[in-house]
Chains A and B, each alone.
Chain A
Amino acid sequence: MKISTRGQYGLQLLVDLTEHASESHVTLASVGQRQDISVRYLEQVAVILRRSGFIRSVKGASGGYALARPAEEIMMKDVLQCLEGDLLVAEPLPPGVQENRLRMCLRRMVYDKLDLCIAGVIGKYTLAALAASPNADRDFMYFI
């Protein structure tokens, strides 16, 4: 029951863009430095996030990326769904296929409930809620 690195890094990129929304745009190099993720990997994830309308690219010599919509309107669930394909704990049943009795019982009583539970938690958070508060950031600087 793991979230892939693609899902994690993609979310990390979006949260970083949220935390730096006051700047007109952010380069992937600076995100990579702050978040300790390779720029090459960020580029791959950024392509998916741009195609899906989460971020927009800013062209030019000092180009970069910015959120395409306000951080308050982007849900953690939608981001992960986009990057992971789906968030289901078991492969969905192809139409017309009948499962045996034990599997059907487990699907109903465990897998379907887990899917609802997972969607419930990650459906609560927006990018804005996942971004560090300014105070926390100051504490962090002080810690260094």
Chain B
Amino acid sequence: MRISTKGRYSLEALLYLAFLPPNEYASLRQIGESTELSDGYLEQLFIPLRGVDIVRGIRGPRGGYFLGKPPAEISVGDILRAAESSLEPVECLTGAPCPRVDSCQRRLAWKELYLAINNLIDGITLEDLVQSCEAMDREYVI
């Protein structure tokens, strides 16, 4: 049930951007220093995220990236759905035809799992993660 590396790294890069003060942006190098990801890989990650306006880029030698919306309006679910091709745990939920679809208890269990996963990740925003990160920092200082 692994989240792909693409999904996890997208979360890391966007969480980094969520810490930026409003109206600021970060270069690929800055993002790479905190996430340990290369410029080329980050650019690849940002392609689908730009498509759904989760991230925006500024071109040019002094360019960089920033979030397309406030962190409170971007959920972990939005990010994972953009980064991963699909989040369904099994193919039979994506509409592949099966003659037993109406009586299949297994499919109901998979569906419940899929809904529970979605429910959880749609309820966690980047803003929530920033706050828990900061709470975690305080924990460690003590």
Please report which residues of chain A, range 114-144, place their CB below 8 angstroms from some CB of chain B when the two chains form the complex: 114, 117-118, 120-122, 125, 129-133, 136-137, 139-140, 143
Closest CB in chain A relative to B96 CB, distance in Å: 12
Option from B3, B76, B106, B112 in Cβ contact (under 8 Å) with A15? B106
A102: which B residues are within 8 A, CB to CB?
A: 12, 15-16, 34-35, 133
B59 in the interface, Cβ–Cβ < 8 Å? no
A78: which B residues are within 8 A, CB to CB?
A: none
Contact yes or no, A1 B90, CB < 8 A: no
Option from A104, A110, A120, A131 in Cβ contact (under 8 Å) with B116? A120
Number of interface residues of A (CB under 8 A): 43
Closest residue of A by beta carbon distance from B140: A101
Contact yes or no, A105 B109, CB < 8 A: no
B90: which A residues are within 8 A, CB to CB?
A: 2-3, 8
A67 in the interface, Cβ–Cβ < 8 Å? no
Binding site for A on B (CB under 8 A): 1-3, 8, 11-12, 15-16, 34-36, 76, 84, 87-90, 99-100, 102-106, 109-110, 112-113, 116-117, 120-121, 124, 128-129, 132-133, 136-137
Other A-B contacts than A104-B136, A121-B116, A136-B103, 17 sampled, CB-CB below 8 A, are: A1-B2, A2-B88, A11-B106, A15-B106, A102-B16, A106-B15, A108-B132, A109-B132, A110-B76, A113-B124, A118-B116, A121-B109, A122-B109, A122-B113, A136-B102, A140-B99, A140-B102
Binding site for B on A (CB under 8 A): 1-3, 8, 11-12, 15, 76, 84, 87-91, 100-106, 108-111, 113-114, 117-118, 120-122, 125, 129-133, 136-137, 139-140, 143
Q: 9 closest Cβ contacts across the A-B interface?
A: A136-B103, A105-B133, A121-B113, A87-B1, A130-B105, A89-B3, A3-B89, A102-B12, A109-B132
